A and B are shown apart, each in its own frame.
Chain A
Amino acid sequence: MRHGRVRFLLGALLPALVLHVVFVLSPYAQAFYLSLTDWTGVAGSAHFVGAANYARLGGDALFLDAVRNNAVMLLVVPLVTIGLGLFLASMLHLGGRGGRRGIAGSGAYQIVYFFPQLLSLVVIAVLWGFVYNPNTGLLNSGLRAAGLGALARSWLAEPHLALPAVMAVLIWSSVGFYVVLFSAAIDAIPKELFEAALIDGAGGWHTFRRVTLPLVRESVQVAFVYLGIAALDAFAVVQVMTVGPGGPDGATEVIGLSLYRTAFTYGKFGYASAMGVALFFATLTLAVLALRGGRRERLELS
């Protein structure tokens, strides 16, 4: 039996481990080393340049644009998405009796809200490219039809509108998922708490603030991490939808796009790897901050 056990374990673990080492672990490890070289893709021509690539990042205007845009997205996208998601999820429950049971049609609403979650970001980006089209798009022609033609804009071509337009797409595509997630969290709250709040005369806002919000806090934290990671990415939407892409004039540039262009258009693989390392540390910082914030809040609760 013992012999069969070892053979089974080897057979179960080895193929996946080989795949993991070749395609996942070794590329990650190589990226850190490549970021310290000036490699341009020619075999044997990589020179060790120390931290020169990182020093260059600090003076690269387009990369700094990308960092700024990702930072803005990191602030705006999670906040607005979670705000809207919490609002809609608690509305789904608030309308019902005792702040608990869903309003009529709550199931149907959840089905529709979830639609964008199922579509690839490329489909969403192509679709919204049409919506934003200045002449024939859904948005401008809708505004004109409503007599608000003065508000019609070249959404993706005006520097101060392009980034908000991209963020609106990211928010549009993720709100539904978090409505469903928060809705499940609210469902898990004991019914008695809502009844007690109702008997104490708490209104909708107070019930939300004092009962719902503290008890779905953990879901909200998970949402912050996920949305933060998505905001640090944003590659597909920007690459497919914006002019340039990344334009106008760097207004929608993101780190992922800079990395992709630096590596696969300009062939500066060492420099691109340094961008990847920078993105890695940004992601790591985000996760650590969210975790530490979480610990503090849990202490307050107990």
Chain B
Amino acid sequence: MTRPVTFPVHLAMLAWAVVTSLPLLWAVVSSFKTDDEILNHPWSVPATPRFGNWARAWTEASIGRYFLNSLIVVGGGLLLTMFLGALVAYALARYEFRGNRLLYYVFVAAMFFPVFLALVPLFFVVQQLGLLGTYPGLILVYAAYAVPFTVFFLHAFFRTLPTEVAEAAFLDGCSHARVFFQVMLPLARPGLVAVGIFNFLGLWNQYLLPLVLNPDPDRYVLAQGLAALSVSQGYRSDWSGLFAGLTIAMVPVLIAYVAFQRQIRAGLTAGAVK
């Protein structure tokens, strides 16, 4: 057996690790520098860490507000998506009735349409409902566009679950709703977690929908706020504040990822393999 040559392999792996992490690390380090240090010594570490940058970004540059807006909209959208998606997937996977197949395709076909196609009419639909620039408007639209994939994923999942437990529950006199909420949902937990993680990241990183449907700067979500900030801070040349804002947007997600990395990677790649 030939001895594997590990050194060049490690070199290649390490090279990409550096390419991936260097820009991220640079942004985090820069968020502690003064504007002067950022402009004149891009590769150096700060003489003294300036935590004030973070405070300024959080309050003056409204990153805190954008963060809160994102939490509300993504939290609401995610809950609604999971609730409706799980109900639809379960009803279609476990009940035989006329039009079942058709309904499934009506939901799932939407996955294959580019959102850009719907963008113009969607704007007017939301406007006519009086929901433009409101939390409920964004939450409903986020859920509407996340439900198809959720149905697709959970439909397959509910089909693999054993039927015996549900049948026993029916014999015991449980209602259909109780069987779903108290028997089937707990059984489907691994699938719900996987698609939940997938949806959370998708909604958290959503940019196009809020850009069009959420014009009020007070209600900007984080991605919108950062994009606007990168333009306005550029004029005011508050680079350190912008780096701090960028870091605030990056770090919570990365920390959550390192803590739950196995589940998150499994959830995200499962979405692609399905």
Contact = CB atoms under 8 A, between A and B. Distances in A.
A12 B83 CA distance: 9
B227 A259 contact: no
Given A95-B9, A122-B226, A269-B120, A23 B125 contact: yes
A48 interface: no
Interface string B75-117: 0000000001101101110010100000100110010111011
Contact of A136 (B27, B39, B114, B265): B39
B246 A111 contact: no
Nearest to B208: A235
Contacts of B246: 123, 126-127
B9 A91 contact: yes
A26 B125 contact: yes
A52 B93 CA distance: 45
A125 B207 CA distance: 12
Interface string B230-274: 100000000100110010011001100110010011001100110
A260 interface: yes
B47 interface: no
Interface string A87-105: 1100110111100000111
Given A123-B223, A287-B112, A20 B144 contact: yes
Nearest to A84: B16
Contacts of B265: 110, 114, 180
Contacts, number: 268
Contact of A232 (B113, B114, B249): B114
Contacts of B117: 28, 31, 273, 276-277, 279-280
- Sorting the interface of chain A by its residue count into under 10, 10 to 19, 20 to 34 or 35 or more gives 35 or more
A120 B207 contact: yes
B23 interface: yes
Main SS at interface, chain A: helix
Contact of B223 (A23, A120, A273): A120
Contacts of A177: 268-269, 272
B26 interface: yes
A9 interface: yes
B229 to A, nearest CB: 8
Contacts of B143: 19
Contact of A26 (B4, B16, B121): B121
B121 A27 contact: yes
Contact of A91 (B13, B38, B205): B13
A11 B84 contact: no
A219 B272 CA distance: 9
B145 interface: yes
Given A123-B226, A141-B42, A23 B13 contact: no
B207 A121 contact: yes
B207 A116 contact: no
A272 B91 contact: no
Contact of A283 (B112, B205, B243, B269): B112
Nearest to A95: B9
A75 interface: no
A53 interface: no
Contacts of B16: 84, 88, 109, 113, 175
A145 to B, nearest CB: 6
A235 B113 CA distance: 16
A49 interface: no
A250 interface: no
Contacts of A126: 226-227, 230, 242, 246
A235 B119 CA distance: 13
B176 interface: yes
Interface of B: 1, 4, 6, 9-10, 12-13, 16-17, 19-24, 26-27, 30, 38-40, 42-43, 84-85, 87-88, 90-92, 95, 97, 103, 106-107, 110, 112-114, 116-126, 140-141, 143-145, 147-148, 170, 175-177, 180, 201, 204-208, 211-212, 222-224, 226-227, 230, 239, 242-243, 246, 249-250, 253-254, 257-258, 261, 264-265, 268-269, 272-273
30 contacts: A8-B175, A8-B176, A8-B177, A9-B91, A9-B97, A12-B90, A17-B103, A19-B140, A20-B106, A23-B145, A24-B145, A27-B122, A27-B125, A105-B10, A111-B257, A112-B20, A120-B207, A121-B205, A128-B23, A138-B23, A141-B43, A172-B20, A175-B16, A177-B268, A180-B269, A223-B272, A240-B227, A240-B230, A260-B116, A276-B114
Interface of A: 1, 4-5, 7-9, 11-13, 15-17, 19-20, 22-28, 30-31, 34, 41, 84, 87-88, 91-92, 94-97, 103-105, 109-123, 125-131, 135-138, 141-142, 145, 172, 175-177, 180-181, 184, 198, 219, 222-223, 226, 229, 232-233, 235-236, 239-240, 255-256, 259-260, 263-264, 269, 272-273, 275-277, 279-280, 283-284, 287
Q: Which 10 A-B pairs have the closest CB atoms?
A: A120-B205, A8-B176, A23-B144, A30-B121, A27-B118, A27-B121, A276-B117, A16-B84, A95-B9, A12-B87
